Structures are given as C-alpha cells and as structure tokens.
Structure 1
C-alpha cells in the first residue's frame, strides 16, 4: 500500500513539473507556474487534472494556455484534462518571486505589491524602470503590448517599457 502512495505522489510531482514548464504565450519569459495561474495538478483516476485560473476573464491567451498545459501533460505520458477555475480570482500577488525577477530581466516591470491605496486603483503606482532601476518614470498609455500591461517610459535612461498591471 505504501508503494502505491509513493508512486502516486511521484506521478503527481511529474505531472506538476510538466504542466509548470509551460511558458505564457504572451510573456514567454515566465511560465504558468511563475505567474501563479497553474493552481494545481492532481492525479484523479489515472488522469492528470490541471487547474488553471486566467489572469482575467477576457484574457485572449487562456485557451492557448490550457491547450499547451494539456499538451505538456500528454507529452509527459499522462492522460490529461485541464479545468478552468475562476474562484478565487487570480491576483498579481500570486506571481512568484522568481516570476517577478524573470519579468524584470525580460524588461517588464513586475506589478507592485497590492496596495490599499485608492491611488493604486487608478494606476497611480510608483513604477521603477526594469532596465536602470530609476523611479523617474511616467505612464505613456494605460495599455501596453497586451491589455494586462501599461506602457511606461523612463526619464533617466529614456527607454520605454511595459508594466505588468497590479490586479
């Protein structure tokens, strides 16, 4: 009986690793695990079931993400199913420290930590430049390369950059 439990735990770890390796199609420097949208991977009746929460309900990449996670599980030898989970809603607080670091290295300012300030609701967040670290930045557009990012410009190094909005 113990060997079955160990085998099942190993299968679950292998399934998690396969699903967690899937890059985000819009921001390929981070994986679905880095973003925290991969909620769980469990083995249920021999099927690897991955649970994914979209960053927001209108995210155009959610179907591509689900298909990529399912393909990664199948490529790893699992029968697979992906379930979309809406509750609780995803938040940028779920982005891992490694994910935040990867975003910064890629040239995208990671989201500020959640704030109770009313100013944060209107995008009035201090955003440091991911290239030079300067806090002398300005928002150019509420929307950047995707709806979940805003376009900023650094006054110090003069470079434009995306800011992953805090949700």
Structure 2
C-alpha cells in the first residue's frame, strides 16, 4: 500500500515541492518555513502549488516560485503553476519544530510565539520587546543591535554571555 501512495502524482508532486529550500534561509525547506500551503493535482495531471509570503513585498517570492516550478518540472510535472495565497496571512507559528531546530543549528535564533492580535495594530515606533536566547550558548542575556538584520524578517542581536552576534527571526 505504501508503494501505491508513493507512486501517485500527488505524492510525487508533494515530495518535489517539499524539497525546495528558502532562498534567504537555505537551512529550511519551504514546507518547514510554513510557506508551502497546498499542493494539488488536477484530473488532467496539472499541478498547482500555493505559497504564502512571509510578509507583504517579500523579495524572495519570485525565486521561491521559480525554484518550485523547476523542482516540479524535474519530477515530471512540466506545466506546474504556483499561486500566491494571501489568506490566512503567514505567521512564524507555522515554522515546524524541525525548521526551528534547523534555524538554531545554523546559529539563527528561532522566533517565539507570534503576537495575538484581535484588534487593529497600534503604531509603535519602538522595536518590540522580545525574549531572545542565544542560539550558540542558550543565554537569555542578549541585546538588540539592530532591528534590521541580514534580511527584513530578521533582527540582529548580540549575546552578552558569549559575545557572539546572531540573527533572530522576527515574530509575525
């Protein structure tokens, strides 16, 4: 039975799509990042994949799309399409435990729980207070160096215990 499932077009398409890595965080697959939302195979055999951007205007979306189309083409789906799904909005809570471990293993502090918002978001010009642990030594004695890290979705911190700088994925 497992061989029958493994040979279905949907399974092959899903495996191909789940193998694609994020262009900005290459230690994560799009599935572990929570960006890969859906893989569908139509009756005519065409494949459609849905992805959700991590934030509005994410510059990596075109690369994600192109990488998905290439992976699906290699898996035998030449007419694969990628659509953008904006609802529900992506949240860092969608990063899998395996993805969080991969971030930490790469020296990037994974996000904590995303803030819950039941009302409009108040405009605050200060950096949000976060409880960030050093991915190298585990210390909570860290300080924000810059709200803007190597990519827009990360902030730069420094550990006061081991003195190492590190990126932190911002909670969204």
Higher-helix-fraction structure: 1
Match of 2:35 in 1: 37
Asked if 2 retains the 8 angstrom alpha-carbon contact of 1:12 and 1:41, the reply is yes
Q: Give secondary structure in 2 for the equivalent of 1:156.
A: coil
TM-score by length of 1: 0.90
Alpha-carbon distance in structure 1 between the residues aligned to 2:5 and 2:146: 51
Structure 1 position 102, deviation (Å): 0.3
1:143 to 135, 145, 148: 148
Structure 2 segments unaligned to the other structure (5+ residues): none
Alpha-carbon distance in structure 2 between the residues aligned to 1:126 and 1:68: 34
Structure 1 position 9, deviation (Å): 8.0
Cα deviation, 1:45-91, whole Å, max 9, x if unaligned, reads 21111101010111110000011011100011113111111111100
Match of 1:106 in 2: 106
Please list, as runs of the form range in 1=range in 2, the aligned pairs for 1:17-56 lying within 5 A after superposition. Answer: 17-44=15-42, 45-56=44-55
Please list, as runs of the form range in 1=range in 2, the aligned pairs for 1:9-158 lying within 5 A after superposition. Answer: 10-44=8-42, 45-79=44-78, 80-116=80-116, 122-158=127-163
Asked if 1 retains the 8 angstrom alpha-carbon contact of 2:20 and 2:30, the reply is yes
Considering only aligned residues, what root-mean-square deviation do their CA atoms show, in Å? 2.0
Asked if 1 retains the 8 angstrom alpha-carbon contact of 2:34 and 2:95, the reply is yes
Structure 1 segments unaligned to the other structure (5+ residues): 1-5
Runs of 4+ aligned structure 1 residues displaced above 4 Å come to 6-9, 116-119
Q: Give secondary structure in 1 for the equivalent of 2:8.
A: helix
